[in-house]
């Protein structure tokens, strides 16, 4: 005619266990969504860099291409990311709120500090952030049998050092 106390306790225990598993997965997926959003902004910046590079080349201003590596890449975007915190000089991860981008005027790097970083593996410096920098790509061109000269072939917006988020179970 009704539940016994034992049946009620077992049912509540099962529900609590399932909720715990669900919350763990939700936090993991939030972190993965943050990673995807960060990489989407980095991809937009790579595209903007290529557009800036092409703009300079088509205007015959090749000498100005070298300036791209020291510029704040957020300026290349039509609209700044909503989580862009601004420019700082000599940043540390504690200087900006987690989940935000900032440009370090000292190192000329665009930095992202993850908000959800339980599965984030810090770089060699041990700090929980991802640093990006624009770089020029060169290719050696043969020159009358000599070693050859280097020719500018492109630009790249990439992380300063490899970063990683561990997939659950790989820890």
Tally of CB atoms within 10 A around 86:
12
Examine the pLDDT at 170 and tell me if it is beyond 50: no
* Weakest-pLDDT range from 34-43, 88-97, 143-152: 143-152
Q: Which residue shows structure tokens 């200087």?
A: 95
What would the mean pLDDT of 151-162 be, rounded to a whole number?
Answer: 89
Q: Structure tokens of 121?
A: 């593996």
Looking at every residue in the chain, the average pLDDT score rounds to: 88
Examine the pLDDT at 169 and tell me if it is beyond 80: no
């Amino acid at each position: 005619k009704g539940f016994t106390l034992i049946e009620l306790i077992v049912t509540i225990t099962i529900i609590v266990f399932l909720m715990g598993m669900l919350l763990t997965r939700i936090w993991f997926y939030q972190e993965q969504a943050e990673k995807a959003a960060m990489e989407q902004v980095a991809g937009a910046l790579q595209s903007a860099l290529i557009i800036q590079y092409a703009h300079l080349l088509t205007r015959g201003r090749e000498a100005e291409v070298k300036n791209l590596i020291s510029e704040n890449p957020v300026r290349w975007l039509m609209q700044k990311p909503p989580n862009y915190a601004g420019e700082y000089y000599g940043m540390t991860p504690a200087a900006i709120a987690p989940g935000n981008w900032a440009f370090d005027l000292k190192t000329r790097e665009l930095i992202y500090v993850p908000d959800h970083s339980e599965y984030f593996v810090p770089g060699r410096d041990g700090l929980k952030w991802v640093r990006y920098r624009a770089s020029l790509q060169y290719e050696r061109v043969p020159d009358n049998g000599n070693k050859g000269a280097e020719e500018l072939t492109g630009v790249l917006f990439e992380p300063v050092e490899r970063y990683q988020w561990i997939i659950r179970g790989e820890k």
